[in-house]
Amino acid sequence: MAVEAPTRRSAGRWAFPAALAWAVGAALLSLAWAAEVLPHPFSRTDAVNIGAVLNAFDPAVGTAFMLALGALGTACGTVLVRAPSGVAGRAASVTALLMAGVIVLVPLQGSLLTALGYTPVVIVAGWALPGLPTAYVEHMTSAENLFLMYCALGAALWGVSGLVGLRVQRGSCTACGRDGGRTREQEERIRAAALRTGRIAVAVAVAAALVYPSIRIPWLFGYYPGLGTEQGFTPDTGLLVVGMGLASGAMGGSVLMLGLVQRWGVRFPRWMVGLAGRRVPVSLAVVPATLVALALVSLGKVVPAAWLTGRFFTADAPGGPNPVHEAAFASMLVWGAALAVATGAYWVRRRAECAACGEGFPESFR
């Protein structure tokens, strides 16, 4: 039994207009760049080495690209807002998913991961490095990084809109994706399959996440794999602190990813005073994990391209390109993809009764 149309529309009420607003904003930003009212984010040519595809061309190319993307998104979003069902709605839903992919593959780039990685470093170690907090704020509020955050938001909005649109097409609930009449046994089978998938994905993600620390932790012992030790490379205090901070972040992320398949990722553990035993909000895990997965893929995508072009983004590092260093950054693409799968499996496993359609059963805490 299909879910009633009013429920379908209510669940997509925020996604379609939000994606439409993003597209209009992208078009307006492009016009502002063209008129030189706002600084554009395409001037740093060295960013090409970390995946900034549009920076390889004249800034006018990036401006035109984003204007075209905004125009296409405006048309697509208008269709989804006005008539998400039917042939036009189906085409708009597919287009929305394609737009999410294009945003990830083109304007998003590796600086997004750098920004996310440096945030905890600045919080923990900013006091030890004079000037770091100020430099961090200036860096995060630059045109390039504000644009990256806007693109990350756009990728999420268009991905959700495409998913919601396709659910409208098949008559399922746009909030949870369920069709009517699912039994508890069917629900438990789906949850069990999601748990199995999640465990495999988390294992892959953790293995990939530990590759980067494996070339940074040796710095503490005087070994610098991938950075030309034969040329006498030695990191200064600031570089050492940052390197260890990012390596620690990767290892901490490995531990947090285990929560996607462990019981403490569903119920807060006993040692968390005041929260012990309480249900972990699904969004508390899904939102940051999705953002990190986007950032990892946005950096890792440049590695296959670099192998094809011969232009690796650490070519200017001490010692030049090194297979060890290349493999460490290539692992981020695997890490991001596996984390995305694990996050999706976690969401499926955690689905309880749907507030929009009333389908579903209480989640099993395992």
Q: What is the pLDDT of residue 242?
A: 67
Mean pLDDT of 84-96: 90
Mean pLDDT of 226-241: 64
pLDDT greater than 50 at residue 2: no
- DSSP of 203-237: HHHHHHHTHHHHHHGGGGGT--TTS-GGGT----H
Is there a contact between 235 and 224 (Cβ–Cβ < 8 Å)? yes
Position 74: which residue type? T
Average pLDDT, the chain: 82
Position 354: which residue type? C
Strand partners, 267: 279
Between residues 330 and 208, the one the model is more confident about: 208
pLDDT greater than 60 at residue 5: no
Strand partners, 279: 267
Distance CA 148, CA 28 (A): 16
Nearest 10 degrees: CA dihedral of 5, 7, 11, 12?
20
Between residues 153 and 136, the one the model is more confident about: 153
Distance CA 315, CA 359 (A): 54
Band the pLDDT of 127: cuts 50, 70, 90. low
Q: What is the pLDDT of residue 6?
A: 39
Band the pLDDT of 298: cuts 50, 70, 90. confident
| 121-131 burial: b if 16+ Cβ within 10 Å, else e | bbeebbeebee
Between residues 313 and 267, the one the model is more confident about: 267
Distance CA 210, CA 193 (A): 26
- Tokens linked to 279: 């249900």
Mean pLDDT of 72-84: 92
Q: How far from 59 is each of 33, 206, 265, 316, CA to CA, in Å?
A: 9, 38, 44, 24
Mean pLDDT of 33-54: 85
Q: What is the pLDDT of residue 4?
A: 41
Mean pLDDT of 2-16: 55
Distance CA 278, CA 269 (A): 8
Between residues 366 and 198, the one the model is more confident about: 198
Ranked by mean pLDDT, the top range of 10-14, 40-44, 220-224 is: 40-44
